[in-house]
Amino acid sequence: MAVKKIGELLVESGLISPEQLSEVLRQAKGAKKGKRLGSLLVSKGFCDEIDIAQTLSFQLKIPFVDLASTDIEPEAVELMDEKLANKHLVLPISVEKKVLKLAMADPLNLDAIDDIRFSTGLQIQPCVSTTKSLVGAIRRQYNMNEPIEELVVDLKQDSLVEVVHESDSGRDLTEQVRRSAAPPIIKMVDSIIVHAVENKASDIHIEPQEKEVKLRLRVDGIMRETMQLPKWVQGPVVSRIKIMAKMDIAERRVSQDGRIKVRIGERSLDLRISTLPTHYGETVVLRVLDSKASVADLDGLGLSERDHEVVKDMIDRPQGIVLVTGPTGSGKSSSLYAMITSIMSEKINIITIEDPIEYELKGVNQVAVNEKTGLTFAYTLRSVLRQDPDVILVGEMRDTETAVIAHQASLTGHLVFTTLHTNDAVSSVVRLKNMDVPNYMIGTALNGIVAQRLVRSICSECKESYRPEAGEIERYGALLAGTEKLYRGAGCESCNGTGYSGRIGVFEVLSVNDRFRSLVATDAPEHELVKAAVEGGMTPLHMDGVRKVLAGKTTIEELTRVVYLSKSDSGAESTCPWCSSAVESGSAHCSSCGKNLLLECPGCAKTREPDWVACPYCAEKFDFETREHA
């Protein structure tokens, strides 16, 4: 059966009439060589390009592709030179196994298909696209300099990102490196990294959408959209990043992890790379780690005076476990480094086990975990114990084996610092029990637990006071009752109009005393542990946040965003905000812990802090244990 021509299919579909086809064919005979039938139909106004392409797609039952929103693989483009692409008006889209997907203006052009099959040695899977989009896409893919120059105009371009290559397994990446080494693509990726570093971003997110690629940065814990890139740069940019990280650029169906060491000027940075296949292509996240950055000291974390003293007592002991807990991105590593720095001395041997090493500490032996080679936390911890350490930092207790070894190490004379992913201090004990760490071991080993979050600090350049509305502080009930002045950032050039600059910690510090140990050993329920912790002096996480709001360090909105506050925490329902015990509705005092539920001075009724010994307004004194009227 003879193959129908494009004109015949358009007539059969009713898109054009036989008379119109005859007229265009007569004109085609006199037209200059290379003038295509579709272009003549469009120029005569008989139809438009998208109608032709979609009609052919329907008639031939082959897919239609919109090249403006299609991820074009640079590896596929490399298989065909520009001259051949222009000759037949085609563009390779992707290659999988032995099949090359090809966008064509005329999918019935068998000469073109045979020519490209012979040239590439691959089977051809044709797709339909418009002439206009093919001309533009061919220009972009084979001559990327001009459009990319326009895209990166708002990004920093005069800084060089130098990739620092480490020794690898001998894998030959020469061909892959050559394919990803197009100067404009390198410039674009370098510009994205430099822009993120200059904006103090902790993460770079490259997220493919249906018709564009979204570039977002995480700054001070908040995602900010930086720009939108056209869909056609997705493939080259992702491939460039994968090559830098020595990842498999041919594998797009599974997630991958990698790392890049780069140098920007005098700064050395580690980039942790993660890719994830999504509906519209691979999402790429780059975590920016500055191992040479200065480590905050204990005084700079934002601990209250009382909590600072409690933490100092925990870490000054010769043995035991100091546990820091909180979700990802809550500043746990920074707190651990600050603790290590404060006790560092030539007289003790400190070894850390981390994944990855986020900061370099002089005088400390730091080990990077490598799961692929079997260098796990548990395996490394056993080896470290044979190195005669005094202090051990375990980046995270991820499994039962690591948790048990860490507790055993603390019981045999070592001071162990480690982390867990839990919401608050007391729930860390429950988590350890669920990891099958024996109760007696938990109670005996723990020196204390620090739960924390990071909240954005009010910008010092545009900080202003204001009178809060009743509805703004209603959620915090008694905790903010009577507050007449709060603070916020008006927004300025220094803080990029956000009103915030930098972050500060909100803490819940639990010092493990004899009563708490006995409750853990006897498997007491969680609410009893909470009560004992509060009675032992622990300030709940939300209360430390409220103090920082009243002190003008952060805002109500920011605290609410980061720290979950239930109605019981605010005192709005019949539950004590100090010890979580049930209280009679409307009670002024908790029958369990004796604390004042109204947070008022009984002498002058002014709003007071829970740890005041005396009222600064009327000099009324409070009992030390209950903070009640003496």
What pLDDT is recorded for position 324?
96
Please name the amino acid found at residue 109: N
Q: What contacts 373, CB < 8 A, 6 or more positions away?
A: none
Of 118-122, 196-200, 230-234, the least confident: 230-234
What pLDDT is recorded for position 198?
85
Mean pLDDT of 538-551: 89
- Measuring CA to CA, how many Å separate 479 from each of 490, 542, 550, 598? 25, 10, 10, 8
Asked, as a colleague might, if the bond just before 602 is cis with ω within 30 of 0, I would say no
What 3 state SS string does 35-57 have? CCHHHHHHHCCCCCHHHHHHHHH
55 or 626, which is more confident: 55
Check pLDDT > 60 for residue 629. no
What pLDDT is recorded for position 583?
54
The neighbour count for residue 618, using CB atoms within 10 Å, is 12
Which tens digits make up the pLDDT trace of 496-530?
Answer: 888 999 899 999 999 999 999 999 999 999 888 98
Check pLDDT > 80 for residue 104. yes
Q: How confident is the model at residue 306 (pLDDT cuts 50, 70, 90)?
A: very high
- Measuring CA to CA, how many Å separate 166 from each of 141, 260, 262, 580? 31, 9, 11, 53
What pLDDT is recorded for position 68?
78
Which tens digits make up the pLDDT trace of 389-420?
Answer: 999 999 999 899 999 999 999 999 999 999 99
Burial class of residue 165 (count of CB atoms within 10 Å of its CB; 0-12, 13-18, 19+): exposed
What pLDDT is recorded for position 170?
42
Which tens digits make up the pLDDT trace of 566-625?
Answer: 555 554 444 565 555 555 544 556 666 666 565 667 676 666 665 566 676 677 776 544
Check pLDDT > 70 for residue 150. no
Q: Is the dihedral of CA 333, 335, 338, 344 positive or negative?
A: negative
Q: How confident is the model at residue 355 (pLDDT cuts 50, 70, 90)?
A: confident
pTM above 0.75, yes or no: no
Check pLDDT > 70 for residue 153. no
Where are any strands of DSSP class E within 236-317? 256-264, 267-278, 281-289
Under 8 Å between Cβ of 95 and 32: no
Under 8 Å between Cβ of 406 and 435: no
